[in-house]
Amino acid sequence: MSARLVRRWSSARPQDRIVYRDVGSVPPSHVDAEWIAAAFSPPEKRSDEQHARLAESDRLIAELMAADLVVVGAPMYNFGMPAPLKAWLDNIVRVGVTFGFDRKRAGEPYWPMLPAGKRLVVLGARGDYGYDPGGRQADANFVEVGLKAPLAYIGLRDATSIAIEYDEFADERLARSIAAAEGAVDALVDRLIGERAEPLSARPLSPVG
């Protein structure tokens, strides 16, 4: 679905720059104690080793900061997202860079730091069915909530999700689900492009996954 979205977008707007990151083939490093110590240290007090430990996070965040539209391909693995995608998420949710925190701040001590106006599209695939709101297994869908909650926390609050289901059944229900999802992707792209009266900036559309 992410490839379909990008093809349709590129056909309508060939001038837009697209950045592709396959976290499955090239997984980001997982966050560990050294990463956390570096991230929570003031930049001016970080050692060379700490700066190096955060270099990958810096690159991933720079991509996110530059993007107008973030497209995440997120298959469901055991009710949640794949580990490489979670590693990407952990690298970009970073104090002082994508969200702020001040325990002395009146009211809400946390605030998002991503530039306003970005949009998120989550494209999923599930072996079983009934994971959408109101479905038989909606409470077990930790993919969309696991992505949307932390991404909204840093400022990506305009989110749309589309998913294919019935993959394990491989019958006519899967065929119908694929057709419906592809139609929804096409309609979404047409709507998003139609809403842009002015050309996109030079910032990238970034499919991730």
H/E stretch holding 182 reads helix 172-194
pLDDT per residue over 90-137, tens digit each? 999 999 999 999 999 988 999 999 999 999 999 999 999 999 999 999
Tell me how many domains the chain contains.
Answer: 1
pLDDT per residue over 37-85, tens digit each? 999 999 999 999 999 999 999 999 999 999 999 999 999 999 999 999 9
Contact indicator for 159, 101 with CB cutoff of 8 Å: no
Range of the domain at 64: 2-208
For the beta sheet containing 205-208, the strands, ordered from the edge strand earlier in sequence to the opposite edge, are 158-164, 119-125, 69-75, 205-208
At 60 the pLDDT is 98
Query: Which residues sit in the known binding site for FMN?
Result: 11, 76-79
| CATH number of residue 96's parent domain | 3.40.50.360
Query: Which residues sit in the known binding site?
Result: 11, 76-79
The yes-or-no verdict on residue 12 having pLDDT over 80 is: yes
pLDDT per residue over 169-186, tens digit each? 999 999 999 999 999 999
Q: Specify the pTM.
A: 0.91
